[in-house]
Structure 1
């Protein structure tokens, strides 16, 4: 796998998809110790299970439609929408229409590399 740590100019073709199962795959596009950007593609019906982590997360819906849950809040978001996840807050996603999320984490997710 191509090392994208601190890679400054990244083309989509340079990074291979990692199959996660359940109709979900991801690409870690670039990162350093402080920040990471990840593309996550979902098939319709794909579920990002409810979970939490110490990282701050902000995500952009680049395609598709998702039901996003953050803590006690739930909302349907579509292409062009954004959500923010504070540290240690339970959150998850259900893909209603095939799409893609662009996730940014701070600090980087060591468990993704």
Structure 2
């Protein structure tokens, strides 16, 4: 009786594996080749790219001026790079600045 139960368990695992393989192949066939980018993903990519440019610029200025002591900051137990934090904040504030700058212009 135990052998029959073991055979049933083994056969069910084997059948489950075959079903998973068939489902995986079917999903691969139905998946689009090119992933579609959404507006949120594009906004995140633009934010990271803009913040990266600001980070590189700030890093070059700090290296040029030979300012030291800005390696790591710990706030509430989380250690981070203050230059990276400033660049993220500036990248987040940039659209607000652009709106204020061009909304009141005469152009």
| TM norm. shorter chain > 0.5 | no
- Category of TM-score, reference length = shorter chain: under 0.3
More strand per residue: 1
Q: Pick 1 or 2: higher relative contact order, CA cutoff 8 A, min separation 6.
A: 1
TM-score (norm 2): 0.20
More helix per residue: 2
